[in-house]
Amino acid sequence: MSARYAVYALPGALTPDPLRQRAEAWLGRAVDGSAIAPVVPEGWTRAQLDAITVDARRYGFHATLKAPFRLADGVDPAALDQRVAALAAEAASVTIPQVELRRLGGFYALMAGGPAPALHALADAVVRDLDDLRAPLTDAERQRRRPQRLTPRQQGYLDAWGYPYVFEEFQAHFTLTDRIPEPEAARVEVTLLGYFEDQLGRDLRIDALCVFYEPEPGAPFQLRSAHGLRDEQRQEGAA
């Protein structure tokens, strides 16, 4: 089976969120297939924007909780949906505090502006509790992660969990661009700061675990299903 699946955090998975709407207009693509009007910031053409968001657009606006993987033998997509739904039913919604723009490994992303222990705990649970559904990495898949560039701990996580950036290495980020060469970085950063100005500094609520899938290698990732996390604030208000 060539399809890959992933579990992502997606703002506005269950209720509309203005940050997601802005981000998907920036990328020029909505992961649920809905129609959007791609943005063209002042001083840019849409072709220029598309050129710096090739990979970001293909993967779609999200933060990775469990990185893309092939399903293990005997596991079908419906079983994955069921397991994610069961996990979501036992976990609470989380807040990403004071969203800020950062450059991470050469690309730009939206990230938490303060500690987010509940988000980290949720990501840890997703990685651990769903791993029996994941097929082992092939040699080619492992090499695509460039293990020679990883730290020993990251290499260990790659071999054990199929992805090097889990647990202590986890950094939740919502990718907005591909890697930007240094001479272009200042222009891109100024544009992003202006474009997201009214969204930066706000808390971002994640209310669902979302299953994404890549039908075949190189195809855009699509939202398959969204499974609501418990809303503890609503439960407390009803008590």
| Per-residue pLDDT reduced to its tens digit, 102-132 | 999 999 999 999 999 999 999 999 999 999 9
**Residue 108 is inside which H or E element, if any?**
strand 107-111
- Residue 231's pLDDT band (cuts 50, 70, 90): confident
How does pLDDT run across 76-97, given as a tens digit for each residue?
999 999 999 999 999 999 999 9
Q: Which fold is adopted by the domain 4-238?
A: Cyclic Phosphodiesterase; Chain: A, (3.90.1140)
**pTM for this model (two decimals):** 0.94
> Per-residue pLDDT for 203 more than 80?
yes
- Kindly report the average pLDDT of the chain as a whole number: 94
> Per-residue pLDDT for 235 more than 90?
no
Exposure string (b/e) for 175-203, b if CB count within 10 Å is 16 or more?
bbbbebeeeebeebbebbeebbeebbeee
> Per-residue pLDDT for 1 more than 90?
no
